[in-house]
Structure 1
Amino acid sequence: MVCALGAAVCYGTATVLQAIAARTAAATGPGGDVALLWRALRQWRYVAGLMLDGLGFLLQVLALRSVPIYAVGAALAASLAVTAVVAARLLRVRLSRVEWAAVAVVCAGLALLGLASGAEGDRAGSAALRWAMLGTAAGVLLLDGVGGRLPERVRALVLGLASGFGFGVVEVAVRLIDGVTPGALLVNPAAYALLLGGGAAFLLLTSALQRGSVTAATAGMVLGETVGPALVGVVWLGDRTRPGLGWMAVLGFAVAVAGSLALARFGEAPVPQVHDGGGPPGPGSAPEPSRRPRFRQAP
């Protein structure tokens, strides 16, 4: 559970650092995506964010090999609370009382989950489940091609939900990989599901954030990456709680996810506007969305 919380801290902090770097890169001169990325990569904040993303993914894998998927999923959703707190500190973003309450609710839910969670399930997962994860990942990838044709009012939510399914495939696939030798990985459908699911989820989330509401896209992603994988872990992989504390785990999971949904606008960290002089923003600068896709879940 410590690894899961550590991953949330890494992901949430990386989102803010990368948002600052991306906005600064856009303000320093014109150019296409490649030029903007190159300027961002020359900033220590962006590089530090990428390093935190990598560390967060390693911690996520360790957590998934030790505790139930439902606990890890809820902890990863809590990275939105980390982003909110870090943004309030570094970017002077004002959180409302409701948002501060949501941060407290997330912490309370995770505390309940930590007390109630047992060890990871002892079932290895069937070959059918491995192929099902690969098929789900392929289905998520296909949705990227039709996402732009969806009605505008539901587009971001559907694409965000589909991206959450892709990230959920990654969570389940980690549990279905028994050996990490090249021979074992090549014949395991779960290894391909992990790569395909992560890549498809990243593309879908990028599309969702560019074509619709950040809040709707992030809310859909949180639901997709928590509820489905949690059910798979309990039903097919044997995830359980400590004896007699099943109710506490359900309550903690629901509370943590609900609090994360209340903070969904931090799916992209808000960054200060840069004034016409191109220097750092003043204390009264209004925040605006970074319009930058989240990098945290991509393996």
Structure 2
Amino acid sequence: MLFGMICALGAAVCFGTATVLQAMAARAVGRGEGGDAALLLRALGQWRYLAGLALDGLGFLFQIAALRSLPIYAVAAALASSLAVTAVVAARLLRVRPTRNEWAAVAVVCAGLAMLGVASGTEGGRAGSTELRYAMPATAVAVLLLGPAGGRLRGWRRDLVLGLCAGFGFGVVEVSVRLIDSPAPGPLLTDPATYGLVLGGGAAFLLLTTALERGSVTVATAGMVVGETVGPAAIGVVWLGDRTREGLAWLAVVGFVIAVAGALALARFGEAPVAEG
């Protein structure tokens, strides 16, 4: 269990730091000509952007390891804490000045994760039903269909719906990792959860990128945090048998709520902000 929590926090550190490095690389090359595709190609020539991609890959491996040994609710809250990491790293590298309330939110996230670390049990022992396995790719497809519909809304409603849908996509990834039984090619290719993982991850990145590019970072990220934490945590408890240590269910609930609330308070760091001054 300690190994799982270390992996979950390692994933949060990787994802949070990658956000800042990629933001620095994108700003170094400037918008220039050719739109987003040209910007991406120029960014790929920046070592910071490549380092960010490498950290994203390492973070995903940490996430897989954490989900194989910890309840989903603990991993989901830890991943949401990557916003706290982004805030701290942005303060250092981008010279962004978080407010007092945001520094307090970082401390709140840490306190919530500490509570979860104390209260979390091992991952649930249930394998997951066939229906749940097929529900993963079905949910991912639904996210892909709902995303464009949400994109037709206006203002903060559009950003919230796109963020929520992206969060649901990331949630599909979390649950699918738990459902996959074997990394062998044969079982992997015949497991519906595998396709849920691929479709969910692709849909999440597409919708989140759209939301952050055209709307409010704060609203979209807040929606993503809710979408990727609450649903997967409930699935883990109800269908996969995730439990807490004996008598500490209340502490796990409090820690989860506190960690997610702290992450929501840091939602503007969902895309590393422009350096001040």
Equivalent AA in structure 2 for residue 117 of structure 1: S
Which residue pairs with 2:19 in the alignment?
15
Q: Distance in 2 between matches of 1:24 and 1:134?
A: 38
Structure 2 matches for 1:224-235, cutoff 5 A? Answer: 224-235=227-238
Instruction: Work out which of the residue numbers 15, 26, 29 in structure 2 matches 1:25.
Output: 29
Instruction: Work out which of the residue numbers 247, 259, 262 in structure 2 matches 1:259.
Output: 262
Q: Secondary structure, in 3 states, of the residue corresponding to 1:271?
A: coil
Moved over 6 A (4+): none
Which residue pairs with 2:97 in the alignment?
94
Q: Does 1:269 align with 2:272?
A: yes
Q: Distance in 1 between matches of 2:266 and 2:207?
A: 20
Deviation at 1:143, TM superposition (A): 1.6
Q: Is this contact kept in 2: 1:66–1:119, CA < 8 A?
A: yes
Cα deviations across residues 61-86 of structure 1 (Å, max 9, x unaligned)? 00000000000000000000000000
Q: Is this contact kept in 2: 1:241–1:249, CA < 8 A?
A: yes
User: Unmatched 5+ residue regions in structure 2?
Assistant: none
Structure 2 matches for 1:32-181, cutoff 5 A? Answer: 32-181=35-184
Deviation at 1:34, TM superposition (A): 2.8
Equivalent AA in structure 2 for residue 252 of structure 1: G
Q: Is this contact kept in 1: 2:147–2:161, CA < 8 A?
A: no
Deviation at 1:95, TM superposition (A): 1.0
Task: Give the TM-score normalised by the residue count of structure 1.
Answer: 0.89
Which residue pairs with 1:294 in the alignment?
none
Q: Is this contact kept in 2: 1:155–1:211, CA < 8 A?
A: no
Q: Does 1:192 align with 2:195?
A: yes
Deviation at 1:148, TM superposition (A): 2.2
Deviation at 1:42, TM superposition (A): 1.1
Q: Distance in 1 between matches of 2:203 and 2:143?
A: 6
Equivalent AA in structure 2 for residue 171 of structure 1: E
Deviation at 1:211, TM superposition (A): 2.7
Deviation at 1:26, TM superposition (A): 1.4
Q: Is this contact kept in 1: 2:156–2:219, CA < 8 A?
A: no
Cα deviations across residues 6-45 of structure 1 (Å, max 9, x unaligned)? 0000000000000000111116x43333322222111111
Q: Secondary structure, in 3 states, of the residue corresponding to 1:120?
A: coil
Q: What is the identity percentage for the equivalent residue pairs of Structure 1 and Structure 2?
A: 75
Name the structure where helix makes up a greater proportion of residues: 2
Deviation at 1:207, TM superposition (A): 1.6
Deviation at 1:214, TM superposition (A): 0.6
User: Unmatched 5+ residue regions in structure 1?
Assistant: 273-284, 287-299
Q: Distance in 2 between matches of 1:15 and 1:60?
A: 16
Larger Rg over CA atoms: 1
Q: Distance in 1 between matches of 2:90 and 2:243?
A: 35
Q: Is this contact kept in 1: 2:141–2:199, CA < 8 A?
A: yes
Deviation at 1:181, TM superposition (A): 1.3
Q: Secondary structure, in 3 states, of the residue corresponding to 1:180?
A: coil
Cα deviations across residues 65-117 of structure 1 (Å, max 9, x unaligned)? 00000000000000000000000011111111100000000000000000000
Q: Is this contact kept in 2: 1:20–1:271, CA < 8 A?
A: no
Q: Is this contact kept in 1: 2:128–2:240, CA < 8 A?
A: yes
Which residue pairs with 1:293 in the alignment?
none
Which residue pairs with 1:4 in the alignment?
8
Aligned residues: 273
Task: Give the TM-score normalised by the residue count of structure 2.
Answer: 0.96
Cα deviations across residues 225-259 of structure 1 (Å, max 9, x unaligned)? 00000000000000000001101100000000000
Q: Distance in 2 between matches of 1:59 and 1:254?
A: 23
